[in-house]
Each structure stands twice: as C-alpha cells, then as structure tokens.
Structure 1
C-alpha cells in the first residue's frame, strides 16, 4: 500500500503484506487518527484499515510491515501495535520486530521540568524526575513476587561541576540529595514512604515494588518536600507531558504565490524545520504564529476557502498543501495585492465523533475563538488588456526611459525595435510583456506597484494613478 505525497514525485510506502489475490483489502484511514490515541500514547505511523472478504475462510495470522517515524526528542521507548475493531474495541499486540533500537528510558525533559518549577517556588528543591512509568497489571490480583525497578533519575548537574572544581581541594563537605518514589492508583498520586530508593551508577536509581500501581515516578530532591507538593507536581507533570508546544507556519512556494504550505512544527525544533522547508523549495514569504499548545490527536480546523482539517501528531510531520485564489477579482482595489486571513481552530478529540470512516465535528457552532490568525496575500496579476492600454499611452521616448526604470537590458529594447519597427505601441507592449515574464511570481515583488513607481519616475504619474 503506497501513498502519493503532495511534495514528492515518488510514492511512499504505507504498509506491505502478502496474501492471496482478492482476499485482503488494505486502505489508509488517516481521517480516524485522532481516535487512535489516548492517554500518553503517540501515533508514529499511518492508520491502516484492513478488511477481509471472507473472515471464516481466510487463513490467519498475517504479517504486516509498517514504516514508522520516532522523533529524536521522544521519551517513548515501547512500540506497540494498537488494533480497533468495527465495534471500536481496543486491543494491543507487540510487534514481532522493529528495525530501530528502543531500549533505555529518558528522565522527564529538563526544559519541561524547569517550566513547571518557574511557576511555583515550592518546586525549587526538585533536581530531576524519572520517566513516567506505566504498569499494566490486574487490579484484583496482588503481585506474585516483588519487582525490582530501575529508572534514570540523574543527579544535580551543579553538584557534578562542584565536584570537579573541588578535585584539588581536600574537603569533607558533601551535598546530600533525597530520593522519593510516588505511585498512582485510580488516578490519585501518593508518596510511598516505606519504599527505599537507592542510587545506582550512571544516574540510575532502583527500588523494590511490593504492590501494584498504575503509574510510578521518582523525584530527586535537594531536601525533603511536603507530600502535598510532591503529588501536585506529579499531577502537573502528567498533564504537561500531554501538551506539545507548536508553531504554525505558513510559507509560499518559490515561484508560485498561490501554492501555500501550512505546517504545525515543534517549537523547539523550529529553526531546523524551517531550514528543511527552505531546502525543499519553500523559501517564499513566511508567516508564523505564536506558540500553540496541542495534545496528541487534536485537530486544527482551517477556515478560508472551505473547511480543511489537519490532525496534529507530535511524532509525525504535519503539513498541508493548499492552493489560494481570490474570491473577488475586483476586491482590495486600493491595495497592490489581494488580502485575506487564515483562521485555525483547535478541536479536541472530545468534540469529534466517529461516523463511518471519518471524524466529524459534533457541533460546528461551539468552535470558540481561533488559536491563531495568519495573514494571507496574493499579488494582483497584470492582464494583457492593461498592458495593451498602457502601451498605447506611452510615447517612444517614454518607453525608452521605462526600459531603464524597470532595469531591463538594452538587448530587450533592441529586439523589440527589430520586431516591430513601424509600431511604437507594439514595441512598448513587447517590452512590458518581457518584463512581466521575467519578474518572479512572489509576494515580495508586487508587479502593479513596481510598474506604477516606474511610470511616476519617467514623468507619467497620471498613468501610474490609473
């Protein structure tokens, strides 16, 4: 199963499988991607719809090869295949193999932790936090044996620098740090006071778990912190981990201002992503929004000419290619370009419902305010009729001065004289047509205003006004 991308001449592979001809049907179902994730899950592949003509006679199991992409900043290291049947029942299976290595875990992002600490002085004593660990175990059954859990929770980096600086000074002064583990059961966090957390090598910590919990977190502290602050911080971390800071970018094509790319890019990687877009030829005028917070599976509803949706997934590139056109060719008469605005609305998963093979907005009247507004503009074209009228108004001397003002080469003017020796108006039209073809089709080169300025310079402000 392949897909033809808008910005590529080559089709991209979506999945590969082998089955008898006519017995298995694979289709892309990316329109339902918002319903494929919940909790802290992140979608890293395309959504595939698999259907068999005769389930009873078809021989299972089948093997599917599906390409996926994992962001380099992701803290997820477990890849699972999620299946949803026609009754919308969910089940998980482990992949047989993955090409990439997914071993090891990362602690909570230091930038995320610093942002939360900046909003509450009570969290200043927190040095680092282990990754949020999810455990799946039947609630009615106790653990058969104690579990030893090892997680990364690095020490204070300032302490390491201090140790290096004091390597030549003999001192017995030591900085003590405290390790505390929290567990969540039925969406309520609590401090596990009786659990002893030990330091291991390379910033790892270990502890023994005697009872089952849904989620676990380890905090490294400079000094003990009250349990109420620890549980509040755990809730904030869990909530913040679901949000991603995104910048919405609108870029025009290099030679076609009507071709527009709208992309939702991770704010932390904005410079790198813009460089990638420039390398692909999207180096026209750029408009960027302020940072927008989106959850996995949220949709961006785009309004300008019709309704277009683009689902946000942090682990996948979120790009939309659109063609712009003016609604009223006689509008914006006092401006050298047509103007408009792109409005983007954030739509959460709760505001959508599953209808057939699409995600449909439950109530379009409850959209609220847009999360961002991006200005749009299109250069007004110079029609042949306008150039014909203008060439009839110019004298031969004015046409010669216009060639210099428009920065055309002398050879262009000489070629026009050779082709149309007996018609000065045809010479002027040919020169204006050559200038129109040579000018880049970009917003930064408004043709109408540039021609009006040149007419004013050669002493014809009346024509410039017209």
Structure 2
C-alpha cells in the first residue's frame, strides 16, 4: 500500500462489526461495533472474555453484557483516540435508582466509568440495544447496571437539594456550611420491605425492627469540615402491612418455645408488651465506613418523625454511609450492629438455586445453571419447554453476590465432559443476576460394572462457592483446580444413570423359523395394545412384564409425559429380550391375563389368528 492510499484510509472513518462464532452453532454473534479510521480498525482485535467477569464487577453492580477485550495487534500502530465502541446488552428495568454505565478496566485493574453517549436500538442492520461510548484507551469493556450517581456542588450561600432518584430524600445545607464550594456525590440503595421481613423471619432478635430507610452513600470530595449542621430528610415509613405481618410473625414465633425464651432474654418486658406498643416508634441512625467494613450506632442523634412516613435529623460531620432503622421497642446496640451488617450483606446478595436437569430423550445429556430463587419457577418452565426435566430437584436456596463463582465436580460412579472426550474435570459457573450462566455437559458411568446391587449408576455433584476475594486477580483466569479439601461444600445433588441393556451376541440358530407377520406388523400391534392400556391409566408395574427396573426407569425418562409411549417402549424392550423361537402371542396373552386384562388377551388372540395387525 503506497503512502497516499495509507493517508486516505487514515482519514476515512468506518463503523466495523466484530463478531464471534458461538460454540456448537452456525450463528455468528455480534460482540461490538467500533467506529475508527480504517487503518486502525485493521489492527484491533476483539475477544469475549466472560471467564474474567468476576474481576470487573463490584457490589451493587450488575453485569448486563458480555465482557469484551479490545487490543491492538500491532504495537507500533498509533490509535487516533477517541474512538467509538458500541456494545450490545440486555438489561431488566430496575427503577429510577439505577443507570447503565460502561466500565473500562486496564491491565493493572484500574477502572473508569463512562456514561453512554447513546443507547440506540440499532447499529447498522442489527436491532439490539447498544451502549455507545467514546474511549481514550483500550482494555476490557463491560456494560453494567449501577446505582445512579448524583453529583452536585454546595456553594457558600448554602443549598436545599432534593435527589432526582427519590424526591422524598433531601439535604439542606445552611449558608456558610462550607468555607468554599464543596462537590458532593451520592448514591441511594433502596431496601425492599421483603428483605427486612426475611431477616426478621431468620433471626427473632430482629423482631422489633419495623422498617428501614434507604441506604445512602455519600462522597464528600473536598473533605471540608462542617461549619453548620446539615438537615437530612428521608422516608422511613411504618410498615403498611404491620398488622398482617405481626400476626404471621406471631405464628412463626409460636412454633418454638425455645426461640420465644431466647428472644425474651434480649428485652423481656418490652418483648411481652409488643402487642400494645403501636402508638410510638423508636429511631436509630447507623453509619458505616467502607474501608473499615464496620457499623456504628449514633445514640446522640435526635431523629424526628415527620408526616407521611418521613424522618429528619441533623449532622455536623461527614458520614460515608447511613441508614435509619424504625423500631417498635428498644434494641441493644450490639444487635443493631448485627442487623446493619446482615442488611448490607443481604442487599448485595441474591438468593439463588442450582438447577441440574437432564434431556428427556437422552438422559446422558445434562444442563447445569444458576437461577435467582424468585425466577426459579419461570426458569424450570423454560427448561421443560427445551426438553429438560428432573430428577434431581433444584438445590436449597443460598446467597450469591454478583461475580461470585460456583465450582462443581462429579464424584462417585458418574463423571462429566463438555466435549464428550475430556471427562473428570471440575467446572464453574459465574453468577450474574441479570445473565443466565448455564453449562451443557455429557455424563457417563465411570465403571460399567459398578453399583452392581443397584438398577442404576450412582454419583454426586458437589458444589463450592468461590467469593470474589478468593478469585485470583489475573487476567488469564486459571481453570478450576479441583482441590477443595479445605473448603466446605455449598450444596450437593444426587445423580443417577439408568444402566445399559447389555446385548449378548449368541450364534444364530440353524433352525429356520417361518412367520407370516413382519416386525413392522408386530410394532403396529404393540402400539394398539399400548393405546388400549393407556386409556385405563394402566401403570407400568401393573403389566407384570419380566423386565429390569433400569428399563422402567429409562422408559420413564425417555417419555415422561406420555403414558402411551411409555407402555409402547416397554413392550418393545420386552420383545427384544425374547429369543426368535419364543411364542410372543402366548406370552403376551399370559401377562395380560395376569394383569387382569382378560378382554385384551382375547382380543389379542383374535387379531393374531385372523392376521389383523393394524
């Protein structure tokens, strides 16, 4: 390429589509669009690095896109920044408290947040939601749903500020609060009433907690001291369903006398009078420090109860984070601190389940995925529509934070593989509340002669939780090591496989058997018989056929929702076990009579004698 052509291409900006081929599919998926000079685009390389997603999310952030690495393949090439990158994403609406941001992380794990210049639904001919940003560096890009950051400056003359995320939350800075203009950044984490109810149900010591305000994070960028007190107003309403929840709580507390005595020990007299203390509330202000990861109770702060569930108080010092707790009776500070820690942890966690389902037509093909507990029913319905079903049933629910990993390995007489070749590895799923981590695997028995006293092969899937703090901070993430001896399992799932029907090759008999009916005609006869039996909801065991229990299990897995097909498959399996010289008509008639279906036995004999096989 001559110099004039190079200059022309360097001035010509293009919007290039970067795609990746999905595994086991012929489709090509768009991972991003980059708008840059043509010469620069030739040197850019884009890759999907979702296995590193644990390294790009923090608490209160939710990943809503692929994690994309953009690099320059030519070290001598100079990229004319800024360039535009548009990344497709899918995000659920999370209310006015959250916003969509693009996070770019460099090789040393330093991150910057970029506000998208557009959230268009089209890029070229592709209809999808894209977050487009102008960037001045390359690195690892991800689209996140974050708590909305509100920035304002407090002038010397003071300021009365209502937050845009929730106009009920306001800050009043009197004149001369700061000696010079002071920039502020705030984020508000709403707390669902159901979260407080869940904590109270788990720990009776929190019974006096009625409700809480939102959790407010404040960054005082100038770090100037307060010259005057700042008035803060925020909602902390009485529980609108207090009566109903009180009755439910009484029922829960009535289950165990031991729990009642333990709760009374925290505050005996107040605990007994809770039914009559509905006319007043007690408020406590709790503050947290991000670096120290601990909470404090401010006993000397007077919190006033205003109308419409609003409370207000004054501060004369900066607090990094705070929350107001409404109580029905006094609670010791130690229990308040435990409640604040549990509340902050619960806000950043999602109750989740592990689902392990197998393919109906092929029990050797399974799918493992993580699902939020509130979406479990919907996820199970989707899996059934895709042709998957249990057993086993989903695990008990457990908390997971964004970016935490669940590693698992197969033990016992069953192991698994992603590609059908490499068996016996450990596997991982990375949890993201707005994405659906899933893994399709093939399973098989380790020893076909194992579990000889059981009709099926047995194994166990053991799951372990790997927190973000335990994750190695390296861009080249190692594969799961499989050494979890010093770690307690998160949960376990029992897994079974039906045993194979062993086919024994015997020499063909020299005796020739003549028959007027072909195999196809017999199949028609067996299907007619299956339909007749299914009409009366005849169970498989009631047929009294001499077949192994593993055959019954395989038939149920193969046709879980169709009794006619189950009976037909069972009859076919029984017929295959018979020698060619066997009198199938006589044997089948005998089993039908033994099952109490003499009518079908006679009709079967009639069809065979008159050669009526349709």
Name which one, 1 or 2, has greater alpha-carbon Rg. Answer: 2
1:181 aligns with 2:280: no
Show the counterpart of 2:468. 349
Deviations 1:360-411 (CA, angstroms, capped at 9, x unpaired): 5688254534322223333445577669979x999969999x958993349x
Structure 1 segment 318-337 matched on structure 2, within 5 A: 318-332=437-451, 335-337=454-456
Residue 13 of structure 1, CA deviation: 3.9
Show the counterpart of 2:573. 451
1:28 aligns with 2:41: no
Among 241, 258, 262, the residue aligned to 2:368: 262
Residue 10 and residue 180 in structure 1: after superposition, are their counterparts in 2 closer, same or farther (change >3 A)? farther
C-alpha separation in 2, matches of 1:67 and 1:176 = 51
C-alpha separation in 2, matches of 1:55 and 1:208 = 58
User: Secondary structure of 1:245's partner?
Assistant: strand
Residue 280 of structure 1, CA deviation: 3.0
Residue 274 of structure 1, CA deviation: 1.0
C-alpha separation in 2, matches of 1:81 and 1:61 = 15
1:45 aligns with 2:68: no
Show the counterpart of 1:132. 215
Residue 83 and residue 214 in structure 1: after superposition, are their counterparts in 2 closer, same or farther (change >3 A)? farther
Show the counterpart of 2:268. none
Greater length-normalized contact order (CA 8 Å, ≥ 6 residues apart) = 1
Show the counterpart of 1:370. 489
Q: Which consecutive residues of structure 1, in runs of 5 or more, have no partner in the other structure?
A: 163-172, 411-438, 461-466
Is the 2:392–2:494 contact (alpha carbons within 8 Å) kept by the matching residues of 1?
Answer: no
C-alpha separation in 1, matches of 2:405 and 2:508 = 49
Among 29, 34, 42, the residue aligned to 1:17: 34
1:275 aligns with 2:292: no
Show the counterpart of 1:237. 343
Deviations 1:162-194 (CA, angstroms, capped at 9, x unpaired): 9xxxxxxxxxx9834444432223433234443
Residue 408 and residue 381 in structure 1: after superposition, are their counterparts in 2 closer, same or farther (change >3 A)? farther
C-alpha separation in 2, matches of 1:176 and 1:24 = 65
Task: Single out whichever of 305-314 and 102-111 deviates more from structure 2.
Answer: 102-111
C-alpha RMSD of the superposition: 4.6
Deviations 1:133-164 (CA, angstroms, capped at 9, x unpaired): 222334844469976656443332146999xx
C-alpha separation in 2, matches of 1:454 and 1:220 = 72
Residue 267 of structure 1, CA deviation: 1.7
Residue 249 of structure 1, CA deviation: 0.9
Structure 1 segment 177-256 matched on structure 2, within 5 A: 177-185=281-289, 186-192=292-298, 193-194=300-301, 196=303, 199=306, 210-256=316-362
Is the 2:462–2:489 contact (alpha carbons within 8 Å) kept by the matching residues of 1?
Answer: yes
1:157 aligns with 2:157: no
Residue 115 and residue 348 in structure 1: after superposition, are their counterparts in 2 closer, same or farther (change >3 A)? same
Could you tell me the TM-score, scaled by structure 2's length?
0.57
User: Secondary structure of 1:287's partner?
Assistant: coil
Residue 188 and residue 369 in structure 1: after superposition, are their counterparts in 2 closer, same or farther (change >3 A)? closer
Structure 1 segment 11-160 matched on structure 2, within 5 A: 11-19=28-36, 20=38, 21-52=41-72, 53-54=74-75, 57-70=78-91, 77-98=98-119, 103=165, 107-138=190-221, 140-142=223-225, 151-158=234-241
C-alpha separation in 1, matches of 2:195 and 2:64 = 22
Deviations 1:301-326 (CA, angstroms, capped at 9, x unpaired): 12133222211222321211112233
Show the counterpart of 2:609. none
Could you tell me the TM-score, scaled by structure 1's length?
0.72
Deviations 1:402-459 (CA, angstroms, capped at 9, x unpaired): 958993349xxxxxxxxxxxxxxxxxxxxxxxxxxxx797285697898359969647
